């Protein structure tokens, strides 16, 4: 029996000396300093502490775990769109200019849209107004692409009713409107016309145009 106990004691002593697979071997301070390299003091201290304790470290990630890259997130929680590197951004929209001149009395008008500069818009509109009327004055200059002119007319005293014949009506007002589309420009000009002479005028669109958009 004593022989059996002696053999068991010897075997148990041998098993207790076998190191486990998960144990880490502590490193010397010199070895850890070489492994950690240079860096800020808090990072270097943490790196040395992990190294001397036998924990894994690297120069790039001295705290032991490399960060996992994740796609950029937008405020809504979905991945934000990132344009490819080197892709050219679309050019900004080109700004164009327009102008409206109306004669007093309202016998003529001039309209320009889509001009490359403000001075050209004024010259074009004023020249067109002077071709059909006198005493042309600026009604508006603008950068919106569309404009319209509406005339407000009354029946001529010498006519029984109004027709397309200029002798059957009198032009009492010229109004204009500007907008991003022709329909809104005509609507704005027509509403301005209907406010003239207490709504007693017949309003009709006589000119509408849009420049490049």
Mean pLDDT, all residues of the chain: 79
Query: How many whole angstroms separate alpha carbon 144 and alpha carbon 141?
Result: 9
The CA angle 125-131-137, to the nearest 5 degrees, is: 50
Classify residue 58: in a domain, yes or no: yes
Domain count, the chain: 2
Do 59 and 103 belong to one domain? no
Do 60 and 102 belong to one domain? no
Query: How many whole angstroms separate alpha carbon 74 and alpha carbon 67?
Result: 20
Rounded to 10°, the helix 29-36/41-52 angle is: 130
How far are the Cα atoms of 8, 50, 59, 76, 127 from residue 186, in angstroms, in the given order?
108, 77, 71, 41, 23
The region of weakest confidence among 23-37, 60-74, 140-154, 183-197 is 60-74
Classify residue 177: in a domain, yes or no: yes
Q: Confidence band (pLDDT; 50, 70, 90) for 83? A: low
Do 107 and 32 belong to one domain? no
What percent of the chain has a predicted confidence (pLDDT) above 70? 65
Q: The domain containing residue 34 runs over which residues?
A: 26-64
Candidates 84, 42, 82; CA nearest to 63 is 42
Classify residue 181: in a domain, yes or no: yes
What percent of the chain has a predicted confidence (pLDDT) above 90? 47
pLDDT at position 116: 92
């Amino acid at each position: 029996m004593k022989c059996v106990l002696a053999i068991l004691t010897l075997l148990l002593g041998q098993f207790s000396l076998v190191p486990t697979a998960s144990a880490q071997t502590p490193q010397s301070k010199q070895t850890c300093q070489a492994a950690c390299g240079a860096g800020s003091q808090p990072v270097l201290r943490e790196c040395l502490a992990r190294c001397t304790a036998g924990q894994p470290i690297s120069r790039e990630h001295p705290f032991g775990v490399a960060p996992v890259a994740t796609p950029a997130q937008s405020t809504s929680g979905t991945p934000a769109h990132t344009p490819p590197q080197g892709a050219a951004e679309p050019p900004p929209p080109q700004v164009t200019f327009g102008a409206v001149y109306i004669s007093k009395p309202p016998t003529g008008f001039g309209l320009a849209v889509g001009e490359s500069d403000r001075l050209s818009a004024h010259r074009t509109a004023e020249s067109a107004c002077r071709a059909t009327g006198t005493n042309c004055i600026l009604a508006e200059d603008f950068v919106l692409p569309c404009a319209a002119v509406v005339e407000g007319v009354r029946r001529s005293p010498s006519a029984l009713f109004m027709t397309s014949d200029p002798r059957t009506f009198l032009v009492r007002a010229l109004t204009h409107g500007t907008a991003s589309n022709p329909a809104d420009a005509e609507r704005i000009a027509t509403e301005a016309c209907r406010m003239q002479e207490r709504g007693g005028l017949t309003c009709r669109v006589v000119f509408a145009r849009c420049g490049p958009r």
